[in-house]
Structure 1
């Protein structure tokens, strides 16, 4: 396996705790071996036993240090948990100390052991009592990178190159510098794609005042900028400022753009992080993910005042969801994030934005007061908003009429889509050696197809079913109903119509409320069946489709909220958990099905009673493509009055 020429750094290293043979030691593992060896050197020369505890540096790759510890101990005796052998004890969070008491008791029987502590704050008394030496490891220096490069066969580094490697986040350097890639190529990539997690200054680009759309989120952001300014002037404390918000909406709706624009508006620095980015640290090992998470918050704290945006927040999961083997992983990740969001971790000067496409998948504890306490929906921009976005990116290069034309033709486009389209238009104009003209923008627009009139009528019936039932049962106030005239041909999931409701803040959510919500959800297919004899497949087959949501609500009424035949409840709330309960719990599937059928017939009966209003509004929606809640309420009232007059006359 090893050669006499380089016994300490073998060409191939078999991970004794892994399932397969890995390649030669990676850069982070080499660096961990180098820094840990300085403490272990005199112990390794002796034949006596030892227990050494290492606290990892901020941002350290826990998996790399664990591999390095095993590698250093492997030279004496095989790694094992058997008495008399070597042992590596990982400490990732407080539970490892609380639940691992027996692990520490084993240390007196083990010959040599290394305790790896993910954060120096976790150096509990039990660890200090057990260890012969406790060392807080520093981040690898430029000289350490020079030694590692030689051991990896890259030769000698210049001072400039060594300093560049030392300045990189561990994950960046590990990705760039690998066996099989020439070191000059890796260094070129590090210079070409620098660390962009923390901006060194307020990011350039538009402020919130310059951006169109964003509704209530924009209003909140402008108020926040005033509060941050007052905080800078010492007029208020940070306790008077909102700590965090949740932004949710469809992909490409501009959640990240909002975060960077908010930073510019507040004169703050912008720190970007994502659950995927955290999980990629150390191939998703729990310790490395927690370390990467803490580093993002530490970066934001060091850059304050700052905006920390956490993208893809839903992929972290929920503690109430049974994730099988991964349930413990998700629970510890969420607990770690809660600790960072809470007051126990100093966050003065840091505003956290969580961004997601699926808010219902996020653990409820993350959304409580003091954490991500305000929630804003960011929808796709309407025509007026798209015109404003085009105007921002195009300046005065097109006339108002031309802007109106391209805004109308870009239905279904997000702000990110518009920015990309304008970039393509600029590229086209440059190739022709002139300024942008409307044809450049039109060529950059997505290929669209007009929705056939027959389908437009079906979509209009469906959305009106939601709207009319919503007005009649009054669970939540209706805002508007709309349909699209065109659809994109790029294969992306897109909404062709929408009945928009506003949830009341202090609505009492009784069993009647949820039955009304189910009736509204089923009003779409009820209207389709009423006007066309049957309904299409678009109401199911997707996590947020009508039938899927109605089924989940009906299930939770029975098993989560105590509205069914039993007051005994479960905490289940995820689609997977609810599906499992419907499958395994005797009679539950039948009860849910009966609830859905009853509310479907109820919705259909309400629409039948108001058939004249449905038919009239149907024609107007197909023609105008959008109707207000007031129009729908007035039409229902007028048709009822007309029907009453006819009844009295007869």
Structure 2
């Protein structure tokens, strides 16, 4: 399409061989960017790490590795190093990365023999260095990369490897970063695509062709990590809307076919990302396509402290950094990074002091109404106490933010009985019940988006009735969207009764634990983050 117009056309690529042959010949002019050198890096640091354009150039150059090592840095490594607070620290981090690469006994050459010369310890250290974090998502990523490395070394059959992972969660939590880190940790090709990219290619046939091309490239590039972003953009064939139904069905069918192709080949890890997995077509989620599903959590207070410390250096006193880390609980890595960059920009261009007040401004941390904060804390405490009672040890972390809260729990087991489902309904509605019990009424905190308490509870109660053979409709299986299923008034009434019963059950339980409820809420208000282990110890007799 671009070629049919008269406008100048500029193409960017990592390797000229990625282009069609026609674009590698005259009259197309080719310009090759120079690899990273010390001079280029110094010029960047003068702009990024100094308000005056002056840095300790001699010390920075002395700390840098040779230019051969510099030219081998990838963009992720460079961006990570540039997060250091001073130019000299950037150089030191780059030197450390170069030394780590030098110590590795082999580099990516493709095929299973690549890892045969590396010790298990060296591979484990490289994986841990690239993929830090203690959430289930990070641990799963490390295991998948370890399996891929073992397969490359000929120590593991591909059939025994975990090959696909769906990462879901709020925007900005680092799903793309984790996928990229997996590619870097395994030292293999990283390929990225998205539904937005495919759809931008043009009408349906062109869009499907772009999708096939991405998967063709992935199969040819193995060993590799393939990252597909915005998977929820494809929707579901169960969506009751007639609008674009034929288009949506063909897109999903095409996507399923390409996943199956990739799963039949060897050497490619498939990583998908979305915000709301419950909106995906069930066929996408089934085992054999995305075997593993992990929520990408918000960073905990300790991680926020590390991110702020790395970005700010020693500009804040330890007590200020501690306080800011607590106040920033609930922020995503993307929000923290953007705030640090904006604060540094203000400090450079407006002559302001880079202090906690300026960071609070860009993090949008305002004084919070204590009443609202307590309501949010009571809501999360209600979820926590109910979950601990019905599934001891399932609560991992409770987080309180100025605009909401989050209770992280272990995933539900694959096999659920009616009792299990009723327990989950009670846990989902315990937050609302806690508000009503202590404050006399409930807020809108349980409702709203597709991952809200009420949305999840409604979907689960509907599944009990229509899909799982455990409700009033007996063994009949009905698969449709939530709005479509709720048009039946008798079914709607049965779902409402399930939810009413669950909330009443939660209310009765919390009445007997009201002192514990208040104590946990107070702890949350004070700390903004409480681990599941800490919460389990709160028991007022």
TM-score (norm 2): 0.72
Instruction: Give per-residue Cα distances to partners, 1:536-560, cap 9 Å, x unaligned.
Output: 1222232222222222222222122
- Written as runs of structure 1 = structure 2, the 5 A alignment for 1:6-25 is none
5+ unaligned residues in a row in structure 2: which ranges? 6-18, 32-71, 81-126
Q: CA deviation at 1:419?
A: 2.5
Secondary structure class of the residue paired with 1:310: strand
Secondary structure class of the residue paired with 2:388: helix
- Written as runs of structure 1 = structure 2, the 5 A alignment for 1:226-241 is 226-241=146-161
Q: CA deviation at 1:563?
A: 1.9
Moved more, 349-358 or 235-244: 235-244
Alpha-carbon contact 1:478-1:500 (below 8 Å) kept? yes
Using a 3 Å threshold, how does the CA distance of structure 1 residues 582 and 523 change in structure 2: closer, same or farther? same
- Written as runs of structure 1 = structure 2, the 5 A alignment for 1:379-394 is 379-393=297-311
Q: Following the alignment from structure 1 to structure 2, what is the Cα–Cα distance between the partners of residues 626 and 243?
A: 34
- Written as runs of structure 1 = structure 2, the 5 A alignment for 1:388-467 is 388-393=306-311, 403-428=321-346, 430-431=348-349, 438=355, 442=359, 445-467=362-384
Q: CA deviation at 1:332?
A: 2.2
Correspondence for 1:97: none
Alpha-carbon contact 2:240-2:484 (below 8 Å) kept? no
Q: Following the alignment from structure 1 to structure 2, what is the Cα–Cα distance between the partners of residues 514 and 455?
A: 31
Q: Following the alignment from structure 1 to structure 2, what is the Cα–Cα distance between the partners of residues 302 and 242?
A: 20
* Residues 1:293 and 2:205 are matched in the alignment: no
Counterpart selection for 2:165 from 240, 245, 251: 245
Correspondence for 1:84: none
Secondary structure class of the residue paired with 2:473: coil
Correspondence for 1:263: 183
Instruction: Give per-residue Cα distances to partners, 1:126-163, cap 9 Å, x unaligned.
Output: xxxxxxxxxxxx968359x9xxxxxxxxxxxx6134x7
Correspondence for 2:400: 483
* Residues 1:581 and 2:485 are matched in the alignment: yes
Correspondence for 1:102: none
Alpha-carbon contact 2:144-2:163 (below 8 Å) kept? no
Q: CA deviation at 1:381?
A: 0.7
Q: Following the alignment from structure 1 to structure 2, what is the Cα–Cα distance between the partners of residues 260 and 310?
A: 11
Using a 3 Å threshold, how does the CA distance of structure 1 residues 346 and 509 change in structure 2: closer, same or farther? closer
Q: Following the alignment from structure 1 to structure 2, what is the Cα–Cα distance between the partners of residues 314 and 591?
A: 29
TM-score (norm 1): 0.61
Alpha-carbon contact 1:208-1:218 (below 8 Å) kept? no
Q: Following the alignment from structure 1 to structure 2, what is the Cα–Cα distance between the partners of residues 466 and 265?
A: 37
- Written as runs of structure 1 = structure 2, the 5 A alignment for 1:489-508 is 496-505=404-413, 508=415
Correspondence for 1:277: 197
Using a 3 Å threshold, how does the CA distance of structure 1 residues 298 and 427 change in structure 2: closer, same or farther? farther
Correspondence for 1:150: none
Q: Following the alignment from structure 1 to structure 2, what is the Cα–Cα distance between the partners of residues 441 and 230?
A: 48
Correspondence for 1:45: none
Alpha-carbon contact 1:409-1:445 (below 8 Å) kept? no
Larger Rg: 1
Alpha-carbon contact 2:320-2:356 (below 8 Å) kept? no
Q: Following the alignment from structure 1 to structure 2, what is the Cα–Cα distance between the partners of residues 602 and 622?
A: 26
Using a 3 Å threshold, how does the CA distance of structure 1 residues 595 and 300 change in structure 2: closer, same or farther? same
Q: Following the alignment from structure 2 to structure 1, what is the Cα–Cα distance between the partners of residues 263 and 395?
A: 41
> What RMSD, in angstroms, separates the aligned Cα atoms of the two structures?
3.4
Q: Following the alignment from structure 2 to structure 1, what is the Cα–Cα distance between the partners of residues 385 and 290?
A: 34
Correspondence for 2:448: 541
Correspondence for 2:517: 614
Alpha-carbon contact 2:425-2:502 (below 8 Å) kept? yes
Q: CA deviation at 1:287?
A: 0.9
Correspondence for 1:186: none
Equivalences, count: 441
Q: Following the alignment from structure 1 to structure 2, what is the Cα–Cα distance between the partners of residues 536 and 440?
A: 31
